[in-house]
A = this chain, B = another copy of it.
Amino acid sequence: MNTAQPSISIKVQTDDFDVASEYAAMRTNNTQDGAIVFFSGLVREMNQGQGVTGLFLEHYPAMTEKSLHGIVEQACERWPLSKVRLIHRVGQLHVSDQIVFVAVSSAHREAAFDACHFIMDFLKKRAPFWKKETTTIGDRWVEALEKDKMALDKWNINDK
């Protein structure tokens, strides 16, 4: 296990983010890690509504960062991670825009893959964000999916 405290960066912002500089930050002063895994989530043209033209992301500001920190800390307890960087955007987005970014680094690839996947699975079910799609036939709130709830099962955590 990694004995040093992992370096954690969590941001909730309206602005777009730059994956290249996030990736550079993962590599800076990092000679111990063999594996970086990152996930990037984008606005799709066809989601639950057809012909999506935009997406509005509402959140619960006082709770959002606290919730994300809790999820990342769970991941750090479970896997030996050196660095975690997470960005989630809020506000008005458009098709192909970046929504969310999670990067983790570890000595070994299994830990990096699992931790990144775990963080996304829990973010989807526990972090207070809500998406409203703008479509060619009007606005609609995105429905939570049963498969996202089931995605948590693989992590064997007793989580309502």
Contact = CB atoms under 8 A, between A and B. Distances in A.
Interface stretch (A41-49, A72-80, A132-140): A41-49
B40 A39 contact: no
Interface string A23-34: 100010011111
A109 B44 contact: no
Interface string A102-138: 0000010110110011001000000000000000000
Contacts of A30: 42, 96
Give the number of copies in the complex. Answer: 2
Given A37-B37, A39-B37, A113 B113 contact: yes
A79 B8 CA distance: 32
Contact of A20 (B20, B40, B47, B96): B20
Interface string A77-95: 0000000000000000001
Contact of A35 (B41, B45, B110): B41
A42 B20 contact: no
A43 B30 CA distance: 10
Interface string A46-88: 1100000000000000000000000000000000000000000
B36 A40 contact: yes
